[in-house]
Structure 1
Amino acid sequence: MSWLGKVIGGTIGLALGGPLGAVAGAAFGHAFVDKREDEYLRSIPGRKQPGLSSNEEAQLVFFTAAFSMLAKISKADGRISEAEIKVVERFMVNDLQLDEAARETAQNIFRNAVTSSQTFEDFARQFYSVFKYQTNIIELMMDVLLRVSSADGNISDIEERMMLSASRIFSFSRSEYERLKSRYVKKSDPYYAVLKCDKNASNEEIKKKYRSLVQEYHPDKIQAKGLPEEFVKFAADKFTEIQEAYEHIRKSRGF
């Protein structure tokens, strides 16, 4: 995580800004330089401000938004349960493969977001402003939010309202949300939910959806986009999951 050292060292020359910038600034222990101020500083002879690349800035947004939103939804029903903490920790270790320093940073963001005056929706809007054209990242953010909100076996009414609010902000359809939710709150076959299909879909519809998803989440395509490095492993797991779901359905249907 090349951006992390720059941020912790306080050497970044551009702002994350907005609600996420406020949380990140508190977590990292220093203020972010406003972009307009940064442009001024760069214009001063002999004054250099090493900044983040566009990819590093995207990584910072993804990282901060994920743990800020997870904090708010974990606290939604008044307390953060042990089950929710364990799901967040598994997300850090298994999905994002964070080292010890990065996990500590994520925990700092989480703690600051819990008590922040900024809302879940504030964080969601800023996240969407950066990733609105990358639907796979949006879906994966929805996925991990659902994992945490359903960690204790069900999704409370307030957590459901927050998830539906995120769906609206992310332009994530209600039908897509219900399919994704069914993976954690069992109402339908989770294999069909992975392929975004209903059980009454035709074989051809399933094949078409499978081909589309495989193309979208293929590791080579993900890496070519220069997406956040934490996301590459996450997307690779999704790619494997899509293949496994398709094979299960194909074998069960006999095509």
Structure 2
Amino acid sequence: MFKIIGVLLGYFLFGIFGAFIGYIVGSFIDRYRAYGAGGVNPLTAAHRQSVFIETVFILMGKLAKADGHVSRDEITHVEDFMQKLGMSSEHRQVAIVLFKQGTARDYDIKPKLNEFMSVCGHTSSLRQMLLVYLIVMALSDGYLDATEESLLNDVASNLGYDPLAFKQLLEMVSSQSHFAGGKVTSADALDDAYKALGVTKESSDQEVKRAYRKLISQYHPDKLMGQGVPEDMIAVATAQTQEVQTAYDLIKKSRNMT
């Protein structure tokens, strides 16, 4: 939209050259509005993606070992995660090394989190998607151990989340997991559907729609890639979108919403 305005305004004020400058400025504004500050400079995308992937696998390792041992379910989750990413054999080996690095008892995650914040921290979507991946990892064995939750709290705090904001995100992602694969898997499905969207039964139809649209926007592939989430990792976000959609459809049906 802004690039069209820029072209017209530039042409009106300065002619053909002004239209060209208006197009560049307008495109910049459109990209900023669509992707945030993280998506404006594509030259830094490769570095952001590298730091993002390193942080994800190192923290997955740390999280898996938080309760003292790495379970078979957690190993399977990481293997499935790498498969979803379509990683080459070489990249899988690098990811495994990073994961094992994180499982080391004396490994300090603070420097890696500091690096993540300096490179990716200005983009809220990257911070949130990192937490989403870790929460899904923590829930892969069916429950959230107290030591895992404590570690997630520490990570969230370093990412700038206050305790309430993290608790809300944890509850949302946990509830979204009950709609994995676009299926309803919970006996309390409708209650979970509201929690998955971060709303309540008392919320108005407009509030429910607003929450749904916000989540769909946050998980949108183009937006995430523009902000620095590697393309291969979009598959996981797409799965979250499907879960949100299923939860929303259930609420719509219960309310006879259009």
Same fold flag (TM > 0.5):
yes
Deviations 1:134-158 (A, max 9, x none): 3233222222212222333322221
The separation in 1 between residues aligned to 2:219 and 2:138, in whole angstroms, is: 25
Q: How many residues align?
A: 203
Shift of residue 114 of structure 1?
1.9
The answer to whether residue 126 in structure 2 is matched with residue 137 in structure 1 is yes
Bigger mean CA deviation after superposition, 78-87 or 182-191: 182-191
Listed as ranges, the gaps of 5+ residues in structure 2 are 1-42, 179-185
Which structure carries more helix by proportion?
A: 2
Cα 1:114–1:240 shift into 2, 3 Å:
same
The answer to whether residue 83 in structure 2 is matched with residue 105 in structure 1 is no
The answer to whether residue 75 in structure 2 is matched with residue 73 in structure 1 is no
Q: TM-score normalized by structure 2?
A: 0.68
Q: Sequence identity of aligned pairs in percent?
A: 28
The answer to whether residue 121 in structure 2 is matched with residue 128 in structure 1 is no
Shift of residue 80 of structure 1?
0.6
Cα 1:197–1:123 shift into 2, 3 Å:
farther
The answer to whether residue 72 in structure 2 is matched with residue 82 in structure 1 is yes
Pick one of 169, 176, 180 that aligns with 1:176: 169
The separation in 2 between residues aligned to 1:138 and 1:190, in whole angstroms, is: 24
Q: Secondary structure at the match of 1:237?
A: helix
The separation in 2 between residues aligned to 1:86 and 1:198, in whole angstroms, is: 34
Question: Is the 2:176–2:240 Cα contact (8 Å) retained in structure 1?
Answer: no
Pick one of 44, 49, 74 that aligns with 1:54: 44
Cα 1:200–1:166 shift into 2, 3 Å:
farther
Listed as ranges, the gaps of 5+ residues in structure 1 are 1-52
The separation in 2 between residues aligned to 1:181 and 1:122, in whole angstroms, is: 28
Shift of residue 254 of structure 1?
1.1
Q: TM-score normalized by structure 1?
A: 0.68
Deviations 1:47-83 (A, max 9, x none): xxxxxx5211111101110110011111111111101
Q: Secondary structure at the match of 1:198?
A: coil
Q: Secondary structure at the match of 1:101?
A: helix
Shift of residue 169 of structure 1?
1.6
Q: Secondary structure at the match of 1:177?
A: helix
**Which residue of structure 1 lines up, in the alignment, with residue 239 of structure 2?**
237
Question: Is the 1:69–1:123 Cα contact (8 Å) retained in structure 2?
Answer: no
The separation in 2 between residues aligned to 1:198 and 1:84, in whole angstroms, is: 32
2:102 is matched by which residue type in structure 1? A
**Which residue of structure 1 lines up, in the alignment, with residue 33 of structure 2?**
none
Cα 1:137–1:181 shift into 2, 3 Å:
same
